[in-house]
Amino acid sequence: MAARAAGKLYRNFMRQRVISTSIGASRHCSSAATSAPKIPHSSKKGRLLTGATIGLIIAGGAYVSTVDEATFCGWLFSATKLVNPFFALLDAEVAHKLAVSAAAHGWVPREKRPDPPILGLEVWGRKFSNPIGLSAGFDKNAEAVEGLLGMGFGFVEVGSVTPVPQEGNPKPHIFRLRQEGAIINCCGFNSEGIVAVAKRLGAQHGKRKLETSSSSSPLSEEAKHGGKAGPGILGVNLGKNKTSEDAAADYVQGVHTLSQYADYLVINISSPNTPGLRMLQGRKHLKDLVKKVQAARDEMQWGEEGPPPLLVKISPDLSKEDLEDIAAVAVALRLDGLIISNTTISRPDPVNKNPVSAESGGLSGKPLFNLSTNILMEMYLLTRVAWSFVSKRYVLLVFGY
C-alpha cells in the first residue's frame, strides 16, 4: 500500500512539472512573439543596398586583379584629383606638411608605368629617366625621398639644409595667390640641420640600394639607370644659417656631411628670405665661395663614379652685369651647372593687384615663368660664347623654381 501510494504521488508530481514547464515555455514564446518588432520596409532596403555595395566592391576587386599594373596605376593618379580640393581648404603650411607626411609614409600613388625612352637623358654620366623633377623647398628635411621618387619624378632635390637646426622666419610662412596660380613664401631656410638629414639619407640610401640589388640583375640596364642608390636622381641643396658669419664654412660643412648621398650638390645663394645671402652672387664673393666648396668636395675620397657635380642656384632678379659676372665665374671654375631660378622679390602684373602681394618673401608659380625664362636665355647666350673657348664639359641645367 505504501509503495503504491508513493508511486502514485511521484507520477502526479512529474505530470504537474511537465505541464508547468510547457505553460512557462508557451508564455515565453508568446512574450517573445509579442515583443519582437516588425522589420520596417526601409531597413530591408538598407540591407539590400549594403549587400549590393559589398557585391560591387568584391566584383570591382576581382576586376582590378585582372587589370594590368599600368592601367591601375593610371586610375590611382586620377583618383588623387578628388583629394586636391580638400588640401585647398587647409592652411597652406598645414597642407604642405600633410603632403610631405603622406609621401613619407607611402600614402601616395606609386608610378609603375615605365617612362618612354625618348624622355631619358644623360648628364654628368648620370641617367635621368625623365627631365621632370621636384626642386628644393618641398622636402626640406629629406623625409620623403623614396615616396617622391616612387611617384615618377626623374629627380628629387631635398633642402635647403643648414648646418645647425633653425626655425626660419616667424610664421606664417606661405601665402596663396589662387587666381594668379602662385605662392609667396618667407620660410627663411627652416631646417632640422645636416645631422638629422644625414641620418635619414643614410637610412634611405641603404634601403634603396638593397632593393635595387635584390630586384635587378647587376648587369641590367635598369640597375644602371639612375643615381648612386638606384633609379631616380637625388640632389642635395645646401644653405647657410641665418646667424652664421662664415657662409663658406657652412657650405663646406654641408659638403663634408651630405655629399656621399648626393647625385648632385647645389649651393643656394639666391633665397630672398635670408638676409645678405644674395650678396654672395657678386663676382668676388661667388668666386671665393665656389673655390672653397670645390676644394672641400675634391679632397674627399670618391669611387669610380667620382664626386657629385656642383651647381649654383641663382636669382631671377639679377642685372645684366650680375649675370655676366656669374657666367664668367661659372665657366672659369668649370662649374658643373646652374639652376635657374629661385623665387623673385618682384611682383609682376597681375600679382601686384592682389592684396597678398604686400607680404614679404619670394614669389613662385606662373607669374615667374617669363622672368625666369628670360634669365635662362641670357645665361645660355653668355655661357655658350665662353663654352666654345674654355670647356665643353660645362653644362647648363634647369631644374625649375
Confidence grade of residue 282 (pLDDT, cut at 50, 70, 90): confident
Q: Number of structural domains, the chain?
A: 1
Contact predicate 266/236, CB 8 Å:
yes
Confidence grade of residue 58 (pLDDT, cut at 50, 70, 90): low
Q: What is the rounded average pLDDT of the residues 202-229? A: 63
Q: How confident is the model at residue 20, as a pLDDT? A: 47
Distance CA 394, CA 386 (A): 10
Give the whole-number percent of the chain exceeding pLDDT 90. 56
Question: What is the SS3 string spanning 133-145?
Answer: EECCCCCCCCCCH
pTM over 0.75: yes
Q: For the ranges 37-41, 96-100, 299-303, which has the lowest average pLDDT?
A: 37-41
Confidence grade of residue 78 (pLDDT, cut at 50, 70, 90): confident
Q: How confident is the model at residue 228, as a pLDDT? A: 75
Give the whole-number percent of the chain exceeding pLDDT 70. 73
φ and ψ at residue 233, rounded to 5 degrees: -95, 135
Write down the H helix ranges in 36-81: 41-66, 69-79
Amino acid making up residue 200: R
Distance CA 208, CA 230 (A): 6
- Residue 318 CB: number of other CB atoms within 10 A? 19
Confidence grade of residue 15 (pLDDT, cut at 50, 70, 90): low
Q: For the ranges 60-69, 254-263, 334-343, which has the lowest average pLDDT?
A: 60-69
- pLDDT > 80? residue 388: no
Q: How confident is the model at residue 344, as a pLDDT? A: 94
* CATH number of the CATH domain containing 152: 3.20.20.70
Mean pLDDT of the chain: 81
Amino acid making up residue 203: A
Residue-wise pLDDT tens digits, 88-134: 889 999 999 999 999 999 888 888 888 999 999 988 888 999 999 99
Q: How confident is the model at residue 28, as a pLDDT? A: 45
The x, y and z cell numbers of residue 189, run together, are: 631656410
In the annotation, is 271 catalytic?
A: yes
Task: Confirm whether 16 is domain-assigned.
Answer: no
Task: Confirm whether 21 is domain-assigned.
Answer: no
Confidence grade of residue 23 (pLDDT, cut at 50, 70, 90): very low
The helix/strand count (H/E) of the chain reads as 12, 11
More confident residue, 146 or 219: 146
- Residue 336 CB: number of other CB atoms within 10 A? 22
Task: Confirm whether 30 is domain-assigned.
Answer: no
**What range defines the domain where residue 205 resides?**
64-214+226-398
DSSP state of 175: E
- pLDDT > 70? residue 211: no
The single residue listed with the C-alpha cell 649651393 is 267
Residue-wise pLDDT tens digits, 330-387: 999 999 999 998 999 999 989 999 999 999 999 999 999 999 999 999 999 998 754 4
Task: Confirm whether 23 is domain-assigned.
Answer: no
Distance CA 278, CA 293 (A): 17
Task: Confirm whether 58 is domain-assigned.
Answer: no
Of the candidates 135, 259, 270, 271, the residue annotated as catalytic is 271
Q: Which of 378, 280, 298 is nearest to 336 (CA)?
A: 298
Helix orientation angle between 320-332 and 283-298, rounded to the nearest 10 degrees: 30
DSSP state of 281: G
Task: Confirm whether 47 is domain-assigned.
Answer: no
